[in-house]
Chains A and B, each alone.
Chain A
Amino acid sequence: MSRRLPLRKRFRVHTLLLIALCGWLLMLHLTLLLNHGLDAPSNGVGDLYLARNSETASANAVTTVVVSYRGFDTLGEVTVLFLAATGIGMLFAGGLGATPALRDRNNHPNEVMVTGTRLLFPALLLLGVYIVLHGHLSPGGGFQGGVIVATAFFLRMIADPKFNLDHAQLGWVESFAGSGFVLFGMLGLVFVTTASFLGNFLPHPVAAMGQLVSAGVIPLIYLLVGIKVGAEIGAIFQDMLEADHDTPVSARAAEEL
């Protein structure tokens, strides 16, 4: 059908110009950033964080910054993800009936998918949990591990039409992890030794650096972040797959669109 349309209708000039403008701005930004990024300042806060890292006894300096020094930012980022999951849940709740079904869940998924998932699922789960628990020792942590765990469940949802994550249970898990994070922060405030929100109030001797049990509250907080991220991403996947429930109100709204 689109072939019959004249050229100027197929390509909207305004849109193309806008894209060209955005592309030009992007190039401008990149050149600017690269020029200044190469001779990055050496006395920035990043280097000062590195110099102070040993005091937290976390072998992974990035984790120290993410969970301790700038843990407040991380709490904020977890909240942004939480809000995004809430928003998606709200928009998809009951499904937007008129959107084309993302996939027919009654169809049998193909054999490769099923077998592959059967093999991959335990391995992915293990990898995810490992990455979360070793966040303070090796690269990775709550965000990355949480997403990997959620991906493992996502594969199962695709491979097995009958497999569903229970929204209510996910909600409780997420609630537990989120409030745990804030409560850890509050405990830091309560203890006289730290007297600061998110202060590291558990013993964190430098001698234990590099062991699984070290760095005080950092691995515990990262574990909670992992649980929360995993539950939220899982809930988002579940919301997007659940497009086949119908509530008349939203279905009508979607048709109007």
Chain B
Amino acid sequence: MSDNQKPIVEEREHVVIKFAGDSGDGMQFTGIRFSETSAMMGNEVSTFPDYPAEIRAPKGTVGGVSGFQIHIGSSDVITPGDEADVLVALNPAALKANLRWVKKGGTIIVDVDTFTPKNLEKAGWDTDPLHNGLTHEHQLIAAPITSLTKEAVKDLNVDHATALQSRNMFALGIVYWLFHRDLKFTEEYLEKKFKNKHEIAELNRLVLNAGYNYAMNIQLSRTYVIKQAKLEPGKYRYINGNTATAWGLLAAAEKAGLQLFLGSYPITPASEILQEMEARRDLDVIAFQAEDEIAGIVSTIGASFAGKLAATSTSGPGLALKSEALNLAVMLELPIVVIDVQRGGPSTGLPTKPEQSDLLQVLWGRNGESPIVVLAASTPDNCFYYAYLSAKIALEHMTPVVLLTDGYLANGSKPWKIPNLDTLPHIKPNIIKAGELKEYQPYERIPGTFVRRWAIAGTPGYEHVIGGLEKEAVTGHVSYDPENHEHMVIERENKVKEVQKDIPLLEVDGDSEGDLLVIGWGSSYGHIVTAVHELRNEGYKVSHAHFHFINPLPSNTEEVFSKFNKILVAEMNRGQFFRYLRSEYPQFDYRKHTKVQGIPFTVSELKEAIKKNLED
């Protein structure tokens, strides 16, 4: 390209890019590479992988499309973005599934080689979209990716199928050029990842460069630069919610001076937590892949009795299986942490799609009066902190704690400032050591906290038996006495209420009084923040409060609510938190905005909902 043909370089605050292809096309891998490169080049990044439940869904169909959306920018990147500025579609199905999410005027990159009549039919296109008006509304880059990929690697000794597996790298090369990204991060990564498979590393490197050079040569009219973000100084890494959750538990074990035990059964989208813990034998973690969900939690209870920081990880259907054992932990008053990575339900539902519909199951889905502590993380990186706090509360209050995350947080990732472990709050488990007490009474409670002491199996002098039958206060002996039962029910309830003293107050983003307070919990955080900020800039009197502590609720909840005329609860279910708040504080004017499509809110739909509720 000669100098006078240089494209316009457009400076942007924010760009959203989506990679889409068949579920075997390596779209997740491609997306992660782009995100990491962008993070390392100083941008804020938020990502959202969207993939089918089937490992290899029918090739070329809309149902088999796997996508990875990335939002990069110089500030306020807290959602993966509503609509894409750039869509990469490696086949007609990927275009079909994603076209409606591309901004008017956005760039669409397709592998034109795949737009055959057969593939178009499989994807459900009546006519070829590339020749039917697509170019009127979008900048179309119709690249012969398949044939150029083959061409790029013709000198390597690789078979056809292997060569074509690197098509994603060609697309990535194009996007790198479009956004002035440095190839070196990905090249270094490939070298490390395939250090024993040199020819695969070389193959991917060649194709990546071929894509990059192709983009340079086709004389695109426009490229983009994104200014560096102003991030807090420090050392950063990239982290997804599941890893952050696992590491939060590791940090808690270290701070509590206990070994970590995880008993779990694989389930989408929580399996990575078990996988990470199994890999962490190097840090002394005892991870146990149990024979089923029930054995996962029951072994966890056993490990807790034997003095470990014990946790189990699961998703909605697994939590349903665990509920009897969770109740045993309530009755035994042993510390355990249950991680519920929520997904679309009921039943098997939408295994890979996010939803916030386990809330009522967690709060009330057990027999008897069964109060437990419930927390919810709201960003991939703060899964670390809330997993840490869940463990702290469990150990200090001798109670099971459920931490709610979801598929969106679990797989979404963000740059994360690596925390200094010294700055995390202390954890002081209620363990009593041999000789500390003359006589151990398992259900004697520490005055003022309702917490019983933890005598770990193996400690001389404190031999005792606990069980699922109701027990006499103080002694823990089996008791069927009517007054004692009521007393114990209330004590267990009070113990959980006491946790309120240890949790932070609810904060309001925006004015502390006004027309409308938007309430959220969990992973909808970024979308709600963005929507509320935009509306405030447009002059609307709206504020936002996000709950991370679901049970008990922060002590100032009622006071915060009382300053607003209306309260709009936005959640990805049919109104579960809405019902809960209405039952706790019935005096307020609650509204709800709900969505159960297995996809996150969009900022624009939230803004619409907020405006509508401001008007009514």
Do A and B interact with each other, yes or no?
Answer: no
